[in-house]
Amino acid sequence: MSEAPVSTLNEPMDAPSSKWVEKSETANPMRGRLNWTDGVYLVVLYAAVAYILRTWPDSMDSYEKGILAITPLFLVWLGWLWRPLRSLSIGVMLAALLAIWLYNGELANAQSKFLLKYLISSQSAILWMSALFFMATLTYWISYFSPRVDWMGTLLTWAGVSMGFIGLLVRWREGHLIAADMGHIPVSNLYEVFVLFCLITALFYLYYEKRYNTRALGGFVLLIISSAVIFLMWYTFERDAATITPLNNALNSWWMKLHVPANFVGYGTFSLAAMVGFAYLVKQHGNTTSWLPLIPLLLVGGALVAEAFILGSRGKEVSVFWLVYFGISVMIVALILMARKQIAARLPSFEVLDDIMYRAIAVGFAFFTVATVLGALWAADAWGTYWQWDPKETWALVVWLNYASWLHLRLMKGMRGVAAAYWALIGLVVTTFAFIGVNIFLSGLHSYGEL
C-alpha cells in the first residue's frame, strides 16, 4: 500500500493533482449536452404540475403555486447535472401520485388498501426506507470481504432514497386529508427532518460514488445514516413522532420551506465528510496490526451495554436505549479498526478521499451559510429581531465558524490529510450537538423541536 501523504499546515500539498482531476472528470462524465430526453422530461414534469394545480387549486397559496411552477426547470437542471436524478424524480412522482389516487380523499383507506398499508403510505414508505438503508449498510460492509456484492449496496441505497422521498411527498398529502389547515411541507419536526437528513446524506454519497467510481466508502457513510435511522425508529415508537400535527405560529411561514432544506444539505454533507475522514484515518493506519489500543474501546462498549441491562431490570427504559446505542457504536468502531488492514486495501486513494472530504464540506458550508442568513430573516419576521443568541442560533454559529476555519486553513495554509480528517470528525460532534444535542439538553425559542 502506498505511503500516506504527510499532513502539514505550512507545506501545501496539491491533492489531488491537476492530472488526476482531469482524469477523474473525463473518466466518469456526469452530464452531457441537453437533448430531446430533457425536453420530454420537462413536458412530463409540467404535466404533473398541471394535474396538481387542477386537482388541488385551493390547497396552495400563490407563493406555493409559484414555487411549483418553477420546480420543473430546477429539476431539469439537476437532471442535466446528474442524470440518475431524472429517473429518481419520475419514479418518486409516479409512486406518490399512485398513493394519492388510492387514498381517494379518505385517510382511512391507508388501512384498507394493500399498497397503502404495506408499501406507499407515508409511514410504510419511511419504514421501508429505514429497512433498506440497514440492508445497504450491511451489504457495503460485507463487500469489503466479498467485493462481488458491492453493487447490491448501491441498489439498496437507491431504493431507500426512493422510498424516503415517496414517504415525505405522501405525508404532505396526508396532512391535507386530515384537515385543510394541517397540510404543510414535511420538514417541520424532528421526525421529518431526520428522514430528510438520511435522504440528503445518501443522495450526496451516491453522487460521489458515481463521480469517483468507487463503492468502498458506502459502508462508512451508511453507518451515519443507519445511526440516524435507529434514532428515528426510537423516536417514532417511543414518542409517537410520526403523527401529523398542526404547525405552531412560528413554523407557519414560507421561510421554513427554504431554511430547513438548505440547513440539512449542510448537516448531511458535513456528516458525509466526517465519515470520509474516518475512512481516511482507517487507511492511514491500515499497515499497523496492534489490537492492544482497541481493547479499551471494546471494554467501554461492553460496559455500556451491560449497564443498559442492569438499568433495564430497574425499569429505566430510556437509559437502556441510549446506553445500548452508544455501547454498540463504540464496539462497531473498535471492530472496524481491528479489520482496518483489509478495509484499507479496498478504500480509494488518499487523494480521492481528501478531495471528497473537501468538496462535501465546501458544498455544505455554502448551503449552511445560506440557511443561516435565511434563518435570521425568518427570526426577524417571526420574533422581530435577526439574532437573539438562542442556543440553536449560537450553536449554528459555532458550526459555521468551525467549517469556515477548516476551509480557510485548507485554502490558505494547505491543510490536508490527517489533520483535515481529524478535524472533519470533530466537526461531526459539533454538528450533531447543534442538530440534536441542543434539542435534548437546552431550551429556547427553538423548543418546538425538543425531545
The span from the CA of 21 to the CA of 79, in Å, is: 23
From the list 193, 355, 188, 353, the residue with the least C-alpha distance to 266 is 193
Q: Can you give the pLDDT at residue 217?
A: 96
Q: Angle at CA 405, nearest 5°, toward 400 and 408?
A: 125
pLDDT in tens, 322-340: 777 777 888 888 888 888 8
Amino acid 2 reads S
* Chain segment 18-68, per-residue pLDDT in tens: 344 434 444 444 666 788 888 999 999 999 889 888 887 877 778 778 888
Q: What mean pLDDT value characterizes the chain?
A: 84
What would the 3-class secondary structure string for the chain be?
CCCCCCCCCCCCCCCCCHHHHHHHHHHCCCCCCCCHHHHHHHHHHHHHHHHHHHHCCCCCCHHHHHHHHHHHHHHHHHHHHCCHHHHHHHHHHHHHHHHHHHHCCCHHHHCCCHHHHHHHCHHHHHHHHHHHHHHHHHHHHHHCCCHHHHHHHHHHHHHHHHHHHHHHHHHHHHHHHHCCCCCCCCCCCHHHHHHHHHHHHHHHHHHHHHHCCCCCCHHHHHHHHHHHHHHHHHHHHHHCCCCCCCCCCCCCCCHHHHHHHHHHHHHHHHHHHHHHHHHHHHHHCCCCCCCHHHHHHHHHHHHHHHHHHHHHCCCCHHHHHHHHHHHHHHHHHHHHHHCHHHHHHHCCCHHHHHHHHHHHHHHHHHHHHHHHHHHHHHHHHHHCCCCCCCHHHHHHHHHHHHHHHHHHHHHHHCCCHHHHHHHHHHHHHHHHHHHHHHHHHCCCCCHHHCC
Q: Is the pLDDT of residue 15 over 50?
A: no
Give the whole-angstrom CA distance, residue 38 versus residue 77.
9
Return d(Cα 441, Cα 146) in angstroms, integer: 43
Q: Which residue has the higher pLDDT, 246 or 263?
A: 263
Residue 93 neighbours by CB distance under 10 Å: 18
Cell for 243?
403523527
CB neighbours of 43 closer than 8 A, spacing ≥ 6? none
Top-confidence residue, 317 or 105: 105
More confident position, 131 or 55 = 131
Tell me how far apart the alpha carbons of residues 369 and 342 are, in angstroms, rounded to a whole number.
39
Q: Give tens-digit pLDDT for 248-282.
A: 777 777 788 889 999 999 999 999 999 999 999 99
d(CA 191, CA 451): 11
**Phi and psi dihedrals of 99, rounded to 5?**
-65, -45
Nearest alpha-carbon partner for 186 in 104, 272, 245: 245
Beta-carbon contacts of 338 under 8 Å, excluding residues fewer than 6 positions away, are 291, 294
C-alpha cell of residue 41: 422530461
**Over residues 358-363, mean pLDDT:** 97
Domain coordinates in residue numbering, the chain = 82-247, 268-450
State pLDDT tens for residues 157-202. 999 999 999 999 999 999 989 987 788 889 888 899 999 999 999 9
- Report the Cα 391 to chain-centroid distance in Å: 23
pLDDT band, very low/low/confident/very high, at 6 (cuts 50, 70, 90): very low
Distance (Å, whole) CA 323 – CA 281: 26
CA dist., res. 430 & res. 252, Å (int): 28
Predicted local distance difference test score (pLDDT) of residue 268: 96
Q: Is the pLDDT of residue 210 over 90?
A: yes
